[in-house]
Chains A and B, each alone.
Chain A
């Protein structure tokens, strides 16, 4: 049944289905109805972690080390619990600054350094190549085995065949073509591939189902359940050792080291970074993935041990490689359909890993390695090309092909010397080198570019020396003496026992030394040197990403000039003019502008263009390109320090604190003053009340006593009665006048009095007031005269109130004038600042010390001695308040014995100037 044509047809149909899913996913994404925007797809796509290593290799590992295959999955289970903090932050940083790969992340964190981006890319590519060769090896193995069906032939001779007969080569080529079709159909500023993610999630389902199917078949059909397999294995002396962890310290050491290694790999493998960060649709999906992804890992590992033990027992002595059990078990039991399903499961595990990994790597190679170099080659004149997006895609396609070819070469060179898992662990150890630079970079502002650079170089060098080179040596590509005697025959430099360290396995040994060198140099060099301004800037943006996400004030760190057209043209060259225009249009719309041309080329727009570009060519290159277009002045150290440095923030806080406490002091002083004023007012109110009651009591008392006399003496004669009643009426009038005035005054003071401001001719008012008081003057025998200079301007005031003031002043003057020879003179004159009115009498005058008190309520001169003059004592205070209300002032000028002059000045209202008035009327 399993003809070659059936296998090839099934493989290609499977890839066709994948492609269809990807197309569908892309279409839905374009239509805005994403099929991957839920946590389940996200968690499934994370399972790209389970490559053929898991699918075939776990069983192989379990067959040789029992439970030792598990730490690779326990590590991620533990790590994702911490993702709530760690990865959320990385995702936020990457989304905010449009970071599209690990290289981009590291480069961006350490001052957008092209050199660092390039270094990370080189490490990632060289480190991942063994891993890709692992996939090629596994797929080609499974293909070869299936081709020889029904015989069980191990493909160990594959490497001896000429390469053109080697199925691995064709598989590599096919995968390259498929990846190119998948991942680089067009250029996207965010480097997101929705369709791809959908296909990867589908692959995760397929490989899980295939593995579970084979596992369940072997466990429950061939054997009688898990307990049966273990029970039989107990009786096999060769298998008994697998059933416990050998109680040596080294095995626990390996367990712990591999756990740590896989904890780092789940984050820093380029494909994991691509899927979990770059392709992440929503930060919130992280939550459910924290338990769904470990659940997936648990499920796919359930049957590993039963399969390993079952295979070992079934194939005892037949030389079947345990790495192939998943496929060979169904084959040997003549389950062709299941075998084909297992093959497809392995294919999905392998293709998923290769596709995502090479896409991630090709993005890095293009953005952080090739483009920075190309853009520097002036003779290429790339700066003058209008549209570079075609070039970018071409570079990525070449990079994909090149990476797969390198994987194939490694497979030919070293692949056969190692089991699947061992090859994979070499790659894990390589990407673990990113941990100090990235984890340090997001939590420690002090990490510098030089520190990251030296840490990475040292860690990678140690990795190469202790893991990569030995793998070549074991395959015979390097002299074996290198392993046994060390470099130049120095025993201390033996790559697998560096400095004489024995007792650790290869991976733990390499991981220990490389991470030690890496962390030591990263921290040491960072602390020894000083970060540049750009590094400080980026460090703060990364470490405080949750603070900065809500509006960074870029204008403070950026000074420069740019033009919208230039930025649009620059972006267009890398993204293609249409995409660039779309991006700018969307940006303009967000700002409420109809057209990108209406945009202002400010710091925000430059930043927007840079992040847009960063998506296509990496942040370091984007920085260089934007800097070439925009005339920028770099922010000075002081400026950056001011804004971003912790110290300056603290300083700013303490400054604010000082300001606040000063304000507090001022407020306290104001409060104290207000309190004093309140107390004063309270006292004045009490005084006022007692005075008012006193003033009211006097007329009341006389009214009452005269009324009582009238009541008690009915026989009083008519003339007497008339006199008493006249007194009562007069006192009543006085009383009501007093009450009116008190009310009036309180109204004025409370600001609730009604004012009817109008044009008032002061002379007119004065004459009218004199007329209305003429009766009083006649009664008292006081002469009155009014004089006015010509051309007294009108003022803006309330005519009735002004009249009240004049009558008060006039009656006041009459009161104090000597009877018969009294003389009151009223003068109206225009002065510089308004109209002045003087009321002069020839009374006794007012002593200097009394001249202010008379304006207080109920105060009269001579209060204490002599008869009380008539009047309420409220006239002058009321008059003064009225004049002050119109912006004028009222005062007295007097010397005892020489009469008194009460004067007031009313200011000229600007609106009252004739010209202005007319102008307003005309307007």
Chain B
């Protein structure tokens, strides 16, 4: 897999480059600002990009906006956004779940992989690589913290779910596949499928198979 990294802190950029390289991922370019990031993506056509939300010059959300541009212009490229803080508002903008604009919707429809993780997760190589592979493969990776923000914000209808169903819903929202959910909860795949159909029935969601669409459905329901 080939990736392009955009991260303004030299320290983190170098570390990330080495870490990915040592894990067998080719880092095609590692840059420090949004403009050179977009140029690098254009030139390298990577399988996935890793972007920090805050980039120069204003250090507000340049990285996020650059990520949206990538999603719109190169829909086949998986986008993994890293941030010191995760905000569900950023997550929904990124996923285009709320339909902020035609570009977002188009990107969502084309099923480009997208992920949004707390920067802390880079300390866990397996987790990071799993997320990166998921977004490169067109899936999603949402930080559990964002998911829990969404789950707590939406109150009452979720009360009808059992504790186990809520666990499954959270993992689904993170972008996990049925198999991954089964492995995490140490249950059989059949049990997971049963839970999922119960959740979809209780929340009145149309049943769907593809992981990414499933995430969007869940997020749409959660009011994201």
Partners in one complex: no
List residues of chain B with CB under 8 Å of any chain A CB.
none
List residues of chain A with CB under 8 Å of any chain B CB.
none
